Amino acid sequence: MTRPEFLWAGPARMCQGPSVASSFISHVTVDCSDAYSLAQWWKPVLGYQDVPDDPNLPGHDECMIIDPEGKGVSVLFVEVPEGKSVKNRLHLDLRPRADLRDTEIERVIAHGATVVGDHRGQYGPGTGWVTLADPEGNEFCILRSLAEVEEQAEQPATAEDTPA
């Protein structure tokens, strides 16, 4: 259901409704030490490709990858002199396109991701996610697939699913 009018209840009342100008996300930028290598690592994770008229090459200090279907947000890797020193303030939440969550997690770990935190089952059986890191330590999460979410929503609640 679409809601043509909306209010943000924050103290500044910054978002008043549909007449407010808005922006859209052009791409997500990831700071890194080796733009080409990290773009190459992420392409099979996301199923993305180089921009057709602007291929990424070793030595490029900026490398963009795009969703070949044009549905996902592009990712731009930009080389910066400083390394990652603290937890990400922003991260990607990935949802498997076809496989189940656990199958996707195993695929990405086999590709070189490291587990940062395992939150599966945190809200009951079949729930949760796993936080991983890419080769440069940038964190991301793998959520349940849409099929898994829909399947759980269709299951009737049991006594163990209901809080006391």
Structural domain count, the chain: 2
- pLDDT above 50: residue 5: no
Judgement on whether residues 112 and 76 belong to the same structural domain of the protein: no
Could you tell me the two tokens for 72?
């996902």
Decide which of 153 and 8 is more confident.
153
- pLDDT above 70: residue 156: no
Q: Looking at residue 109, which CATH number applies to its domain? A: 3.10.180.10
Tell me the CA distances in angstroms from 142 to 28, 34, 124, one per residue in order. 17, 24, 17
Q: What are phi and psi of 97, to 5 degrees?
A: -75, -40
Residue 67 lies in a domain: yes
Residue 162 lies in a domain: no
- The reported pLDDT for the residue numbered 161 is 40
Given 62, 81, 100, the domain boundary residue is 81
Alpha helices in the chain (DSSP H): 35-46, 101-110, 146-154
Is the distance from CB of 94 to CB of 140 less than 8 angstroms? Answer: yes
pLDDT in tens, 73-107: 999 999 998 877 777 778 999 999 999 999 999 99
- The reported pLDDT for the residue numbered 100 is 95
pLDDT in tens, 55-80: 999 999 999 999 999 999 999 999 99
State the amino acid at position 125 in one-letter form: P
Could you tell me the two tokens for 33?
């030490």
Q: Report the relative pairing of strands 27-32 and 74-79 from DSSP bridges.
A: parallel
- pLDDT above 50: residue 13: no
- The reported pLDDT for the residue numbered 157 is 55
Please give the residue range of the domain that contains residue 37: 25-81
